[in-house]
Amino acid sequence: MSRLYVEDAELYDIAFDWDVEEEVDWLLERLGKPVTVLEPGCGTGRMLVAFVRRSVEVVGFDLSEPAVEIARRRTAEFGTLPTVVVADMVDFGLGRTFGGAICPINTLGHLSRAQLAAHLDCVARHLDPGARYLVQVGLVDAESHEPFAGSHWEARRADTKLKVEWVDEELDARSGRSLQRSRIEVLEGPRAGEVLEELHELTAWTPETWTAAIDASPFRRAATYDAGRRGARPPVGPDATGGLLWHELVLA
């Protein structure tokens, strides 16, 4: 696990703490407005809070203990509705089932193909029959060697201001390998002048390899949506590519 998710989880929390309220409304509609939701790889818990505000009981887990601690602090005011625990996405057992599940911002890209298969099996055992699992996973063209353009933004909380970059360094769609670079520069605040830069090796999925992975899982693909346009999220075909695709999976 990279330093960004552990030693510098506080900076990660600031960098990725954007408004998710409208997105969570959309997710709830697609999930069928369940009363319980599971979020594997919940990080520092920004999505959990939005669900709890809508009176949804949520359980989130993450392998990073510092991220889980931040998520617990963030959700403490909401009483018993949120639960956050330390667990591995590839092998977890929570002893209960849920009405739906979500996994945003390409978190599943951190899993190998074998790990994704194990993860989907685990999630399936934790969902009610017919429940939906909404996952955000970018797909690339099989012939592509060109990285996505990447993302650049600034974030602020209290006295801390960050400049953030997240870009693809290398992409080999045929081998399923993506090498991405994150760079966070602290512009203002107690840690001003610090720069955190890391490389992350992720799995690159094509429409073909992603479809094969889902077909081999306990789920079936119900729909795919393009989240590139805020608020619109039109449905797209199974051969669509792009970095902001939401996939609606249904437990078969």
Considering the domain architecture, whether residues 10 and 128 belong to the same structural domain is answered as yes
We report the CATH number of the domain holding residue 215 as 3.40.50.150
Considering the domain architecture, whether residues 16 and 61 belong to the same structural domain is answered as yes
Alpha helices in the chain (DSSP H): 9-15, 21-31, 46-53, 65-75, 113-125, 207-215
Nearest 5°: phi and psi at 190? -60, -25
Considering the domain architecture, whether residues 226 and 180 belong to the same structural domain is answered as no
- What confidence tens digit (pLDDT) does each residue in 82-121 have? 999 999 999 999 999 999 999 999 999 999 999 999 999 9
Considering the domain architecture, whether residues 120 and 59 belong to the same structural domain is answered as yes
Nearest CA among 106, 108, 140, 149 for reference residue 16: 106
Residue 145 domain flag: no
- What confidence tens digit (pLDDT) does each residue in 18-52 have? 899 999 999 999 999 999 999 999 999 999 999 99
Residue 170 domain flag: yes
User: Which residues span the domain enclosing 159?
Assistant: 151-203
Boundary residue ending a domain (185, 203, 221): 203
Considering the domain architecture, whether residues 74 and 186 belong to the same structural domain is answered as no
Number of structural domains the chain divides into = 2
Considering the domain architecture, whether residues 178 and 53 belong to the same structural domain is answered as no
Tell me how many helices (H) and strands (E) the chain has. Answer: 6, 12
Say how far apart CA 217 and CA 239 lie, in whole Å: 19
Considering the domain architecture, whether residues 115 and 161 belong to the same structural domain is answered as no
Considering the domain architecture, whether residues 226 and 122 belong to the same structural domain is answered as yes
Q: What is the pTM of this model?
A: 0.95
Nearest 5°: phi and psi at 159? -85, -5
Residue 4 has pLDDT above 60, yes or no: yes
Residue 52 domain flag: yes
- The pLDDT, as a whole number, for residue 230 is 65
Residue 144 domain flag: no
Residue 55 has pLDDT above 60, yes or no: yes
